[in-house]
A and B are shown apart, each in its own frame.
Chain A
């Protein structure tokens, strides 16, 4: 299916937007880089370069050298900000404590998020990072960019910031690391007017929604994650930019239960593509796997000889609910017992595919440890259709938000509020019936309680009447 943009698309041309010439971008030699030293002594950081993995210190050296060799009027922020950043990091290693102050009133006009103030508490030692604010840029769905966009973005950030950025932060945004207050509005203007991107969420806002590659690249995708993510980002712009929540709130969209954006662990409201009919089986393709004609796991782990493919050992015996068997040359699945673990589909993608009646499973309450510990999301809605304009999903989201805004304490995540109130009360408030799928395993999730009105005769009984029928 060809990509059809919803809005008019502006084609970005790096040649029109570029700030630096090719000579400026390639302004040092390998020899110069080899001999380069930061202006501060950074022995612990030098150590980091000795390990087996590429180090950010090596990247920082390239950037520091590059900035040193640019003309003074080709940078709007301190030329040696990268040197000072590394110096500040070394000082933190030495002291065993941070030298950053966080937060403040920096931001762009009208936005309550997207910029996080950061200031050095030793500015006299490291003047290049006296102000070193972070900006979050809302990534595209699935993080698909072209090089014109990326090069334009890098030029902008070199010119108006430190040149150091994360691709990407854990919420998904492109993170610009380090600029001064006076550069915030010009950067925001260029991002929105020239590059067609917006700031992401921070603070007590809806955080930038993120999704897996979805139907663009993945045959497992049960929902159009990119469309859903884009729609939610646009529809909830006010929540993304203007804070009203008790604390942060994250959405993430996984196209299938493989969970490539790990929404189940990383978002307050997790959407995972699923199906409610049967796994599609191509029996001939199953036989091809057994005969060794198709590589299991689509050829992954093919770096060594694992022996002949054994469907019993590698698929059927590993099914967590034992709902599969291979009999009389046919693979059979008891779909009513399937928990959507995806293992069989992952091992034999040519033979098995998710069903056709697709939608989302919705889970709530994941968070990282601050209070209590880290928490995985709990399944709230086993299945919901996910088709544009997603009104059913929006209705649930807003119901959750209304309750959380009403009852949540300051800085209380949704998962903590559910824990404080209990899951049965949360389900009651959401008007969702307890479902067997909410039980992780028999007798381990005792949150489905009978209510008095559900029980014949309520909580009162005539003990004598009972004893007339049941001897002690």
Chain B
């Protein structure tokens, strides 16, 4: 789990984008851990949200993840 969290953060911090679809995070983890299961990656992303490192960004119809403090961080 900690490895997945690290991979997610490395991808998020190294990217120019500020918001990520879950699939982006999934791909980033699977690059290092090809056998990683989607549900476990989701659990890792959820933990990062609960810890306050990642945030959910919702448009209402689809949801993305963002790094707290980057891009839109407060109400627009």
Q: Which residues of A contact B (CB under 8 A)?
A: 101-107, 110-113, 115-117, 119, 131, 134, 181, 202-205, 238, 242-248, 402, 405-406, 409-411
Contacts and interface: CB of A to CB of B under 8 A. Distances in A.
Contact of A104 (B39, B49, B58, B61): B58
Interface in B28-65: 38-39, 41-42, 45-46, 49-50, 55-63
A106 B63 contact: no
Contact of A203 (B60, B66, B72): B60
Contacts of A248: 61-62
A115 B55 CA distance: 14
B76 A204 contact: no
Given A205-B63, A406-B38, A410-B21, A113 B75 contact: no
Main secondary structure of the interface of B (DSSP, over half): mixed
A119 B74 CA distance: 12
Interface residues on B, range: 20 to 34
B75 A243 contact: no
Given A131-B75, A181-B75, A246-B23, A102 B59 contact: yes
B75 A117 contact: yes
Max chain A C-beta neighbours (<10 A), residue from B45, B60, B61, B76: B60
A interface: dominant SS = loop
A117 B58 contact: yes
Residue from the set A113, A204, A402, A406 with the largest chain B CB neighbour count within 10 Å:
A204
A103 B49 contact: no
A244 B22 contact: yes
Contacts of B76: 101, 104, 119
A112 B20 CA distance: 13
Interface of B: 21-23, 38-39, 41-42, 45-46, 49-50, 55-63, 66, 72-76
Contact of A107 (B38, B42, B56): B56
A336 to B, nearest CB: 42
Contact of A105 (B38, B60, B62, B66): B66
Given A243-B63, A247-B61, 4 more contacts: A102-B59, A105-B57, A112-B49, A203-B61
B23 A112 contact: no
A105 B39 contact: no
Contacts of B66: 105
Contacts of A405: 38
Contacts of A102: 59-60
Contacts of B62: 203-204, 247-248, 410-411
Contacts of A247: 61-62
B60 A112 contact: no
Given A110-B50, A244-B38, A405-B38, A115 B58 contact: yes
Contacts of B58: 103-107, 112-113, 115-117, 202-203
Contacts of A243: 22, 56, 63
A119 B59 contact: no
A105 B75 CA distance: 7
Contacts of A181: 75
Greatest chain B CB density within 10 A among A101, A112, A119, A405 is at A112
Contacts of B60: 102-103, 116-117, 134, 202-203
A105 B21 contact: no
Contacts of B45: 244
B49 A110 contact: yes
A345 B75 CA distance: 55
A131 B63 CA distance: 19
A31 B75 CA distance: 41
B39 to A, nearest CB: 7
Contacts of A238: 42
Given A181-B75, A244-B42, A203 B63 contact: yes
Nearest to B37: A402
